[in-house]
Chain A
Amino acid sequence: MEFGPRGMFSSGVLGGARIEARRRLARVLFQVGGGLALMLALGTLGLLVFNLVKGAWPAFRWSVLTTTTQGTGGGLANALLGTLWLGLLTTAIATPVGVATATWMTVWGRRHAQGILLASDILAGVPSIVFGYVGYLAFVLAVGWGFSALAAAFTLGMLVLPYVVRNVAQALQQVPYQLWESAMALGFTRIRAIWHILWPQAGPGILTGVVLASGIAMGETAPLLYTAEWSQNLPSLALTHHAVGYLTYVVWAFIQEPYPSAVALAYMAGLLLMLMVGSLALWGRLRVTVPRGRGGFSLPRR
């Protein structure tokens, strides 16, 4: 029997030690359950990474990064550069649109801001293959760009736009509004206040949001299968009518091949993707968490 707050429950009137033991058991079960669930999650992540490294081992040579794919062997230079190229193009398309949308919502939006945010959130939930299907019909066939970097980038741009909008809007919201008020009081025009105060102040947040979105773009497969297709050549500056290779395709297509060289390349592509996309996501997640604690709580440790 112990004194202090918890002793209240263990008074003889309430049945004492039995109740106390049950409470302790429930608490231990809760802790064990939480620990097991967490271990399952972290264990999955660990196994995933281990499996990638183990599988990629036969392809572990520097020339993987400098040679292009030949049939089912060779290197991954074309896919790696292609992924970066598509990520860059996508970001170049989605960023201006997303930043303008978020800025308008913050500065002029009022009621309409909610409607735009609703549309953006619904867009974020649309499955990626739907973008792929429509991107193929619209950009590859109807517009006539063929399998190309531009068709892929526009398709991915539609897909990541809602992420850019939400992240940038959140960054803009965190700029202290006194700065804006001061600018207005000094007679700034709004566009001048946006350019000289709002955007520079929200700069790091906007950057984080854009980088997170480009990470999402580089990890996608389904929207690219029928827009970028696949190419063994290094990506060129030709934006239309030239197919582009990318890492996710290698993972998907080569793992089902019977040749060990192809399977090793698939693992290697997965590992490279994991390093690029996973580290971007973790970096962004750790940066985004900063305003935590206000109104939140954490239990004292016993």
Chain B
Amino acid sequence: MRFINADIYQAGREATRVGERQPWSDRLASWAMGVIALTPALVLLGLLGYLLWSSWPIWQWMGWRFFTDTRWALGNLYGHPVAIGGWQVMPGAAYGALVFIVGTALTSLLSLLFATPVAIMVAAATTFVLPRRWRGLLAAVVETMAGIPSVIFGLWGFTTVAPVVTHAVAPWLNRVLAPLPFFSGPVESQTNLLVAVVVLTLMIMPIIAATSRLAMENVNAAWVEGAMALGFTEWEVFRHVVWPKIHSGILGAMILGLGRALGETMAVLMVSGNALNVLPQNWFSPVSTMAATIAGQLDSALTDPSGMAVRALGALGLVLFGITVLTNLGARAAARMALSAGPHSSAEWGY
């Protein structure tokens, strides 16, 4: 969103410069609203500060092992705390997040891989293929799916997708993909990586589709009309006129979808199997993500008298916070690249 109007809204600033001061009411309003306008930045800083403060002992104690260890244990909660590096830690406790980091990366990247082609086809269908009067409505319906609460996707995944995947899809996949190491193997639990990926795919697809659709509509209409006049079919218009102009738009859409997948909590918590201490052996293994672990483990972490378990979840939160901030900045950069060519105002793009 570019604040093009801001200059016009400040018409009269020149008058101010000639010597006429803004009346006191305006100066007061400008000052008060200006302070309030700092809120988003302050909330962001507050979140970062709290996460840093909360997780500080974990970084001092575990250091890089936080990223490389697979063991996540509260230790003996009835033992005497031991002092490590100036912090009280329960005996036997260890906080290594590798399982959750791997789980987050696998679920979000695999679901991105599956969701992107479907989303591009959905966006193309609602821009090119459908009869014109259906396009807007169906695009709206698909994009509304992005607004369905994630816990409902979790409910559906838990009750419907999980049994179907484990009892029907998994045996078939095992027959077809038998020799492949990661994509076949014993089905260890009904909620597993594959179920999480299927549910996440369906959750992030509408987001990617909505943003891709904006990129497609941003392509210069004259080129499309010219190509149609030359006798291009819909496919040829899409492939040779639209597609070359929307690479960065699609990239931005994918990064937005990835951001949602990385931070998704409830749906993953309900369908991923909540693995602890074990890395996934194949895509039928239970996994767990950072976000789901924070939600699922906070209850038991509160029973740790040394408070380290809660701080370890804060460390997970900090990593997650950092990753999602970076993905969002990446999406902005990609969207800006996409915009530099298009005729639309950035206001409609959302960036």
Contact = CB atoms under 8 A, between A and B. Distances in A.
A122 B231 contact: no
Contacts of B127: 298
Given A127-B324, A189-B25, A31 B234 contact: yes
Contact of B221 (A33, A40, A296): A296
B47 A26 contact: no
A196 interface: no
A27 B9 contact: no
B183 interface: no
Interface residues of B, number: 121
Contacts, number: 343
Given A5-B229, A30-B238, A38 B294 contact: no
Given A104-B36, A122-B325, A177-B8, A127 B291 contact: yes
Nearest to B347: A173
A234 interface: no
A165 B153 CA distance: 27
Contact of B321 (A106, A130, A295): A130
Contacts of A292: 136, 217
Contacts of B202: 44
A37 to B, nearest CB: 3
B37 interface: yes
A100 B47 contact: no
B129 A30 contact: yes
Interface string B158-171: 11100000000000
Interface string B221-236: 1001100111101111
B22 A190 contact: yes
Interface of A is mostly: helix
Contacts of B122: 34, 37-38, 41
Interface stretch (B90-98, B140-148, B245-253): B140-148
A301 B131 CA distance: 7
A191 to B, nearest CB: 4
Given A9-B231, A129-B317, A297-B221, A122 B263 contact: no
B313 A277 contact: no
A184 B12 contact: yes
Contact of A134 (B5, B51, B146, B209): B51
Interface string A132-175: 11101110000000000000000000100110011001100100
Nearest to B221: A297
Contact of B44 (A101, A114, A122): A122
Interface in B270-309: 270, 291-292, 294-295, 298
A23 B153 CA distance: 40
Contact of B126 (A38, A107, A131, A251): A38
A123 interface: yes
A17 interface: no
B152 to A, nearest CB: 5
A106 B6 contact: yes
Nearest to A120: B40
Given A9-B231, A44-B145, A123-B44, A222 B155 contact: no
B9 A177 contact: yes
A266 interface: yes
B176 interface: no
B17 interface: no
Contacts of B40: 101, 116, 119-120, 123, 161-162, 165
Return the 4 tightest CB-CB contacts between A and B, nearest first: A127-B263, A34-B125, A281-B147, A219-B149
Interface of B: 1, 3-12, 22-23, 25-26, 28-30, 32-34, 36-41, 43-44, 46-47, 50-51, 54, 117-119, 121-122, 124-132, 135-136, 138, 140-156, 158-160, 202, 205-206, 209, 217, 219, 221, 224-225, 228-231, 233-238, 259, 262-266, 269-270, 291-292, 294-295, 298, 310, 313-314, 317, 320-321, 324-325, 327-329, 332, 343-344, 347-348, 350-351
